[in-house]
């Protein structure tokens, strides 16, 4: 089945103004899907929308919104109520590096709302119409941080575990009803993530390209419940499951602690 038949005619991508979200927009447009772009930075999205409209001949709609705002997800639903959204990419999110008590409590709550509550609210908006049509797809942005505790990135890691488990659960619940759900777990990827998260030391990190991560997600959608990007990340994840939990916590702590200090 062609992409537009299975997941079209429209995809909706949150966090479409940069990084992985912008890459999803490009690769979905290349597969012939019209795209709704959702994030706060309108000019960036308008430029990208223009680009894919001209280069791929697809339609686009830009919805500039702070997704953590009051009624924001309902307003996104209102502004797309005339469109058949066949693929929802729950991508918008950010991280916060630091020991729990050193982080701004309001920002931590805001992050939890964006990373966890918003995907639930948007799935509420778009899943039922997909079920009525008997086809569609959902992508949830998890992370390699989702598979074990992440000291100094603790609330973020927990929020990504939320997406991992939600994406995998919906895969099982709806795969026989024509809906594909996928939890995507990138490792560190070259986006604005580390600067937004105020990561102080990114030295020695092997960052993947958004292009490779998104291409993997689109290859695996409909084939499996979740996917980790990168061989090294897969090996780390596998060995993490073989050692005692407290040892896995110590390993991630050692990897992350120094990166929070100036």
Ligand X SMILES: NC(=O)c1ccc[n+]([C@@H]2O[C@H](COP(=O)([O-])OP(=O)(O)OC[C@H]3O[C@@H](n4cnc5c(N)ncnc54)[C@H](OP(=O)(O)O)[C@@H]3O)[C@@H](O)[C@H]2O)c1
Contact with ligand X (CB under 6 A) among 5, 41, 43, 78:
41
Span interacting with ligand X, options 29-37, 190-198, 214-222, 231-239, rule CB under 6 A: 190-198
CA angle 144, 224, 168 (to 5 degrees): 60
Tell me the CA distances in angstroms from 24 to 31, 63, 105, 110, 216, one per residue in order: 11, 16, 31, 24, 11
Which residue in the shown chain puts its C-beta closest to ligand X?
A: 19
d(CA 188, CA 171) in angstroms, rounded, equals 25
CB of 91 to ligand X, least distance (A): 5
Q: State yes or no: residue 33 binds ligand X (CB under 6 A).
A: no
Span interacting with ligand X, options 35-43, 99-107, 121-129, 250-258, rule CB under 6 A: 35-43
* Contacting ligand X within 112-171 (CB under 6 A): 114, 141, 143
Q: State yes or no: residue 20 binds ligand X (CB under 6 A).
A: yes
Q: Are 19 and 210 in contact (CB under 8 A)?
A: yes
Q: State yes or no: residue 226 binds ligand X (CB under 6 A).
A: no
d(CA 218, CA 256) in angstroms, rounded, equals 29
- Token representation of residue 7: 């997941």
Computed on alpha carbons and rounded to an integer, the radius of gyration of the chain in Å comes to: 18
Q: State yes or no: residue 96 binds ligand X (CB under 6 A).
A: no
Residue numbers at the binding site for ligand X (CB under 6 A): 15-21, 39-41, 66-68, 91-95, 114, 141, 143, 186, 188-189, 191-193, 196
């Amino acid at each position: 089945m062609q992409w537009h038949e299975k997941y079209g005619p429209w995809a909706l991508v949150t966090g479409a103004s940069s990084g992985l979200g912008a890459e999803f927009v490009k690769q979905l447009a290349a597969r012939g899907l019209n795209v709704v772009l959702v994030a706060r930075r309108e000019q960036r999205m308008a430029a990208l929308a223009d680009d894919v409209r001209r280069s791929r001949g697809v339609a686009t709609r830009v919805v500039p919104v702070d997704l953590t705002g009051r009624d924001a997800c309902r307003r996104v639903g209102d502004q797309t109520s005339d469109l058949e959204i066949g693929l929802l990419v729950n991508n918008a999110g950010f991280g916060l590096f630091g020991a729990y008590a050193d982080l701004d409590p309001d920002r931590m709550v805001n992050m939890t709302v964006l990373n966890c509550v918003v995907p639930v609210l948007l799935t509420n908006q778009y899943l039922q119409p997909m079920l009525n049509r008997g086809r569609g797809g959902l992508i949830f942005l998890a992370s390699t941080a989702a598979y074990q505790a992440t000291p100094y990135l603790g609330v973020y890691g927990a929020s990504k575990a939320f997406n991992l488990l939600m994406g995998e659960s919906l895969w099982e619940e709806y795969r026989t009803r024509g809906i594909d759900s996928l939890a995507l777990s990138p490792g560190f990827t070259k986006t604005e993530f580390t600067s937004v998260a105020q990561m102080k030391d990114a030295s020695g990190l092997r960052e993947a390209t958004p292009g490779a991560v998104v291409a993997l997600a689109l290859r695996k959608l409909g084939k499996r419940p979740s996917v980790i990007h990168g061989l090294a990340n897969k090996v780390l994840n596998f060995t993490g499951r073989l050692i005692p939990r407290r040892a896995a916590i110590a390993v991630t702590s050692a990897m992350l602690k120094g990166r929070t200090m100036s």
